Amino acid sequence: MKKASDLRTMTVDELRSQERDLRRELFNLRFQQVTGEIENPMRIRHIRKDIARVLTVLNEKSREKQ
């Protein structure tokens, strides 16, 4: 889990890549949950919050450019 201050130092491309990786991990965790193989169900909540954090920073950066 990265802090928003750490994310703010990243470039837009790095943030988009981070979001893509997190979404892929979330998909895999949901798949594991359905099949009953998930070890830590709370991980889904953490990943969702990380995605929201990345999207928030991306939104901030896009507003700065305007």
Residue 26, domain CATH: 1.10.287.310
The confidence score (pLDDT) of residue 65 equals: 81
Structural domain boundaries enclosing 52? 4-65
Give the total number of structural domains in the chain. Answer: 1
Model confidence pLDDT, tens digit, residues 3-60: 888 999 999 999 999 999 999 999 999 999 999 999 999 999 999 999 999 999 999 9
Nearest to 30 by CA among 16, 18, 15, 48: 48
Q: Is the dihedral of CA 53, 2, 14, 43 positive or negative?
A: negative
Which distant-in-sequence residues (6+ apart) come within 8 Å of 22 by Cβ? Answer: 47, 50, 51, 54
The confidence score (pLDDT) of residue 52 equals: 97
The confidence score (pLDDT) of residue 21 equals: 97
